[in-house]
Amino acid sequence: MDSRFLPATAFIDPEGRNRNEVERLVQQVVDLILAKLTGAAERPPMPETVDLPGPITIPEAAATEATLLQAIRDMVDGSMNPANPGYIGHMDPMPATMAILGDLVAAAVNNNMLSLEMSPSFSRLETLLLRAIAGLFGLGEQAGGVLTSGGSLANLQALAVARNVAFDSVEPGITGLAQRPVIFASEAAHTSLQKAAMLLGLGTAAVIPVRATADSRMDPEDLRARIDQARGAGQHPFCVVATAGTTTTGNIDPLAEIGAIAREHGLWFHVDAAYGGALVFSERHRWRLAGIEQADSITFNPQKWLYVAKTCAMVLFRDAGVLERAFRIPAPYMRATDGFINLGEIGVQGTRHADVVKLWLTLQHIGQQGYARLIDDGYRLAERVVEGVRQRPFLRLAGEIDTNIVCFRGEPDWLPAERWDDWNAALQALLLREGKIFLSLPVYRGGRWLRAVLLNPYTTDAVIDAMFKQIDRFAGRERGQER
């Protein structure tokens, strides 16, 4: 092909003829990104304005490098800023350095996780690394899994395998079943379960909600009752999903008790540990996952509490062989390799980015002890928030915390209850505007709550103290106006 009509830096010449030009461009982008990231504390957690990178068209002629660099600046400036120490609103952390560099490496070599032939090193690395991570969860020597682009796909694959095992439905499907398949999950579970049920042809109503306690944990006794009711109604239960780290409050279901109920009834036991799974790295808090070793499958997202850049999630199985028996679709266009099953044949995705590179490098760079310190300090900060809420009679906690997520709201007695939601929304806006502190504002129990997720390694006691000073000033001002 004749590439002379392209910009000099359109590709990296494999013979190095444009190395100087590419190096200059790369350095400009790196300098731009470093300037933004090392100055992240000065920029607000959320953008004040969002400017799109120029007209959204596909140009006839190539854009200049200057135009592209300005577009990158605009996109960064219009993005959320999780590196700001005041960004404590979501389970979306600043990425670890090696996660950024790992993505660069994976993009540069552009291997395809579809098959061993197309990713000879990374395919083996993923298989072995996920086996090791499964070991941390106590799943045993036969365990393994695959990486996915997010926890929703991990939950989808886990439920698909559970369905196929229960109904032997890989080839015939489920259209001829005499009884409707149903799944049980807490009413506080992630909405990806309903999406998975829809995609699997079960319908969203196949996910039967189990009552959550006041602390947003699944009620085991209600689970027993729901299973009995479903069977009495002629339905066919096949899976129970427990959550380790609910989205809004971060609570953890009683895994051991739920696992025992699943075994008692012969049901597949899946644990959505997308968030809370990171606790296996903390000696101090690992006990909170007691019972997860009973799981048949686990969803875990390093893109959350392990600080790996998005996307990076996985689905693990106690018996990795179930992927070959109850999910694998051999691809005739992929060369067979003795003793190794191509990951594209046993995963939801075919062509897939080599997320294992950034995961592996980040795990190596931070290590188990480093993660333990990060996790433990996140709990310490969360307890500081809890104490601050308890000291203020106009604030109320959603319940007991299980992770580093604290959900609370203002219920000022000088206002009627129907105005509390607006009061909390106004407080959220003030914290962002005047304090550069971002809390999310989820709907929970029919009202607006403030949610703090203590993930940022650079969030300090001073940030928490400043947040409460802003809250006190806001409450004092608002109360004065109502008198």
Main-chain phi, psi angles of 39, to 5 degrees: -110, 20
The whole-angstrom separation of Cα 327 and Cα 160 is: 8
pLDDT band at residue 5 under the 50/70/90 scheme: confident
Question: Looking up tokens 């996985």, which residue turns up?
Answer: 314
If you average pLDDT over residues 21-27, what whole number do you get?
98
Question: Up-side HSE of residue 372: CA atoms within 13 Å toward CB?
Answer: 10
Of 448, 467, 336, 462, residue with least CA distance to 396? 448
Cross-strand partners of 328:
none
pLDDT at 483 over 50: no
Under 8 Å between Cβ of 240 and 223: yes
pLDDT tens string 211-244:
999 999 999 999 999 999 999 999 999 999 999 9
Specify whether the CB–CB gap between 158 and 299 falls below 8 A: yes
Q: Which residues pair with 473 in a beta bridge?
A: none
Sign, Cα dihedral of 461, 464, 466, 469? negative
For the chain, domains (ranges, CATH) are 111-356 (3.40.640.10)
The confidence score (pLDDT) of residue 162 equals 98
Section 344-366 average pLDDT: 98
Average of per-residue pLDDT across 361-373: 99
Cα separation, 200 vs 207, in Å, equals: 12
Other beta carbons less than 10 A from residue 260's beta carbon: 15
**326-346 tens-digit pLDDT:** 999 998 777 766 779 999 999
**Average pLDDT score, the chain:** 96
277 vs 195, 359, 365, 410, CA distance in Å?
22, 15, 19, 30
Are 229 and 221 within 8 A, CB to CB? no
Tokens for 17? 């003829």
User: Residue 177: what pLDDT?
Assistant: 87
Give per-residue pLDDT as tens, 260-302. Answer: 999 999 999 999 999 999 999 999 999 999 999 999 999 999 9
Measured between alpha carbons, how far is residue 293 from residues 108, 256, 298, 305, 369 in Å? 37, 9, 9, 20, 22
pLDDT in tens, 417-474: 999 999 999 999 999 999 999 999 999 999 999 999 999 999 999 999 999 999 999 9
Question: pLDDT at position 53, please?
Answer: 73
In terms of phi and psi (left: phi > 0; alpha: psi -120 to 50; beta: otherwise), the region of 54 is left
Predicted confidence band of residue 482 (pLDDT cuts 50, 70, 90): low
- Cα distance between residue 97 and residue 75, in whole Å: 20
For residue 56, the model assigns a pLDDT of: 85
Using alpha carbons, select from 74, 62, 52, 75 the residue that is nearest to residue 7: 62
What does residue 397 show for φ and ψ, rounded to 5 degrees? -75, 145
What pTM, to 2 d.p., does this model score? 0.96
Give me the pLDDT at residue 163, please.
Answer: 97
Q: Is 299 helix (H, G, I), strand (E, B) or coil?
A: strand
- Tokens 């409050």 correspond to 249
Task: Give 235-263 pLDDT, tens digit per residue.
Answer: 999 999 999 999 999 999 999 999 999 99
Q: Quickly state the pLDDT bin for 1 (edges 50, 70, 90).
A: confident
